[in-house]
Chain A
Amino acid sequence: MDAASIEEMNKVRRAMGMKPLPVPGAAQEKEATPEKDDSTLESREAQAYDNFRKIREAEEAKKKREERAGAIKKARDKAQRVTVLEGKGLADDDDDLDAISWLKSQKKRQKKIDAARRLEEEKAAAAASSIEHTAEDLAGVKVAHDMASFLDGDEQVLTLKDTGVLENEDEGDELEALGLLEQERLQEKLDLKRKKPLYDPNDVDETGQPRAILSQYDEEIDGKKKKAFTLAAAGTSTELADILDGPVQRRRHQAVELDVLEDAPAPVSDYLDPSEIKVKKPKKKKSKTTRQRPAGDDDALFNGDQAAADQSMDIDSDAVAYTKKRKVFDEDFADDDDLQSSLALQRKAALKKRKMTRPEDIARQLREDANTPDPESAINAGGIVIDEISEFVDTLHAEREEERKAPKPKVAAAAAVTAAADDSSDEDEEMKDAADIKQESRSTSPNAAEQLMPATGVEEEKTVSGGMGATLSLLKERRLVEDVRGDELNEKFRQRQLFLAELHRRMALFDEETRVQRERDRASGRLDKMTTRERDDYQRHQNTMRDQHHSRVMDQLFREGYRPSVELRYTDVDGRSLTAKEAFKELSHQFHGKGSGKGKTDKHLKKLAEEKRRMAQSMLDASQNVGMSTAASHQGKKRKEAGVRLA
């Protein structure tokens, strides 16, 4: 852009009232006066330019500075690389010493180092011995176990309990023995497993006061009571004394429990050791006596009854009754007997052992025994044993009895029904005995009423299996058969039969006459005179005479009033009756030797199929427009009602 063209532009701009463009030559003076105000866009842009320039300059300065610094560093490095290391090296140390003297000096040095180390160790030992731990150091530290648990005499190693920092602040240090802790946990678990009697008014705790009601929940509400004691420099012994003086029962109880846990090598097995087992031969099972009883015996409903009846005489004589009873009971569970007895023995042995160690448990044992009587003793007590199985069996049996009586009439009814169904499907009813049919109808009559009027209230559609009449009515219902004027047809049929009979009669008369004539001819020997040819002619004449007479008779009968009905009826190959139009088409096709094209044939076939389908449809089918549903839909349309017939 040269100045001239810009000048040119400026003229136009001035004319339009716009700011003139800066001319390159005269630009300097204008730019010399910097515009301080940044109110206009130009001034702001100019400021932006200035800022940009400043930044660029700063960047450049920085770059230069860095370059300079880099150069200085480079120079220094170079100088350092060149400088020689000063001071003595290893080899420079005493260059007058030979190898032997150097070795000696090394030995001396080693000794000096050892001496220094020993001195240090002695110092450390002296310091350690000066702060020896005593019992006073542990004073005030809690131990998280019962003092009694330390009375066994075993040496226990206590460690600081692992707690959070804050808890530690609150409670102070606590000591615990890992082994004891384990034991306590185990004990707790076992206590949980063992079912304690919840409330016992006779129970008295160790201080002699009755326990609080629902004391078993105290632990859950208040949290566990921790048995803990604090070590004191001098006080430990007194506390120990306290414990030793305390309720003996409690202490011993605890000790015993621990004993059980520690001393018992393993829980005593309920089962015998395999080496001790003696196998008894199982008794031969008797056939099930309990099941065998007279079927008609309705009075003895329960199994127990039977047993009671057996035993009723010796209820009072205990011992004998027990044994016998036992036998009756055991016969069913003969294979369990050995096992049960051995188990009982084992348990008894275990119990004995426990009793030796835990005398205070006897009371509890006795109490429990009183509450839950031994199942064996219950069995021995005599009387009826009603358990789930026996009851189940009894109910089963009772029902069977009822059923045996009930179904008989049902079966009879069913038989009647099937018979009725049979004979209705059978078409030649006339072949049966009238009496038979009557009987059957009588037997079906109660059911027939039901069958006639089903729950829907609509009469059932007749089926073809119901016979000719049913079929006809079915077809009529569906309008598949036109209502033919039956009486008219019948009349016509009768007239025709009459006509035929009359014709027959008259012809028979005529035939009789001719026969008599012929006899006469034969007798007169007229035939014999004739030649064969003449005879033939004569016969022919006779025949024509007969024909003439026949037609004459017919004519006479017609004149007397018989009107034959003439009907042209065409059928196609399938036996459908054709209309005149269709018949003409058919004839035409036959005459010309070719049928319709594919399209027309298809249409025709489709029509046929449609007709077939329509005939097969059910009367009451709502989905199609047939029978009843058509009527309903027509009604709806007439009344302009929308709706769908359901089912």
Chain B
Amino acid sequence: MIIVTVNDRLGTKAQIPAFASDKIKDFKVMVAMQVGREPHEILLKRQGERPFKDQLTLADYGVSNGVQLDLEVDTGD
């Protein structure tokens, strides 16, 4: 089990336990539960990198214990 920190740099910061093998889509549901936004409005990415895709897992992006991800609003484009 890893604990991932999600931060939108605007005051919202949440620590979310997950498995590294979780899909990004499922992880977004967890984040949505914590942050209070719809899962499809959530866009996750490492700082300065491209947004994560739903089909891949956290492990695919090399997310391990204690990693911080940037949280942005996904406008759909």
Interface residues of A (CB under 8 A from B): 1, 5-6, 9, 12-13, 16, 18-19, 21-22, 41-42, 45
B73 at the interface (CB under 8 A from A): no
Inter-chain contact A22/B26, CB cutoff 8 Å? no
Q: A9-B30, A41-B59 are in contact. Are A22 and B21 (CB under 8 A)?
A: no
Inter-chain contact A41/B21, CB cutoff 8 Å? yes
User: Can you sample 12 A-B contacts with CB below 8 Å?
Assistant: A1-B15, A9-B16, A9-B17, A9-B33, A13-B26, A16-B26, A18-B22, A19-B19, A21-B1, A21-B17, A21-B19, A45-B20
Number of B residues near A (Cβ < 8 Å) is 15
Chain B residues whose CB sits within 8 angstroms of the CB of A18 once the complex forms: 22, 26
Contact of B21 among A1, A12, A16, A42 (CB under 8 A): A42
Min Cβ gap B18→A in Å is: 7
B63 at the interface (CB under 8 A from A): no
Chain B residues whose CB sits within 8 angstroms of the CB of A5 once the complex forms: 17
**CB within 8 Å: A-B pair count:** 30
B69 at the interface (CB under 8 A from A): no
B29 at the interface (CB under 8 A from A): yes
Min Cβ gap A45→B in Å is: 7
Q: A1-B3, A41-B59 are in contact. Are A6 and B26 (CB under 8 A)?
A: no
Interface majority SS on A: helix, strand, loop or mixed? helix
Chain A residues whose CB sits within 8 angstroms of the CB of B29 once the complex forms: 12, 16
Min Cβ gap B2→A in Å is: 10
Min Cβ gap A39→B in Å is: 13
Chain B residues whose CB sits within 8 angstroms of the CB of A22 once the complex forms: 1
Chain A residues whose CB sits within 8 angstroms of the CB of B19 once the complex forms: 19, 21, 42
Chain A residues whose CB sits within 8 angstroms of the CB of B15 once the complex forms: 1
Bound state CA distance, A42 and B20, in angstroms? 9
Q: Find the B residue at minimum CB distance from A42.
A: B21
Which residues of B (1-45) have their CB < 8 Å from a CB of A? 1, 3, 15-22, 26, 29-30, 33
Min Cβ gap B19→A in Å is: 7
Q: A1-B17, A41-B21 are in contact. Are A12 and B30 (CB under 8 A)?
A: yes
Contact of B18 among A21, A41, A42, A45 (CB under 8 A): A21
Bound state CA distance, A22 and B18, in angstroms? 10
**Nearest 8 Cβ contacts at the A-B interface:** A41-B21, A1-B17, A21-B17, A21-B1, A18-B26, A22-B1, A12-B33, A6-B17
Chain B residues whose CB sits within 8 angstroms of the CB of A41 once the complex forms: 20-21, 59
Bound state CA distance, A366 and B40, in angstroms? 122
Chain B residues whose CB sits within 8 angstroms of the CB of A9 once the complex forms: 16-17, 30, 33
Q: Find the A residue at minimum CB distance from B23.
A: A18
Known: A12-B29, A18-B22. 11 other contacts (CB 8 A): A1-B3, A1-B17, A9-B16, A9-B17, A12-B30, A12-B33, A13-B26, A16-B29, A41-B59, A42-B19, A42-B21
Bound state CA distance, A42 and B19, in angstroms? 9
Bound state CA distance, A481 and B29, in angstroms? 100
Min Cβ gap A251→B in Å is: 99
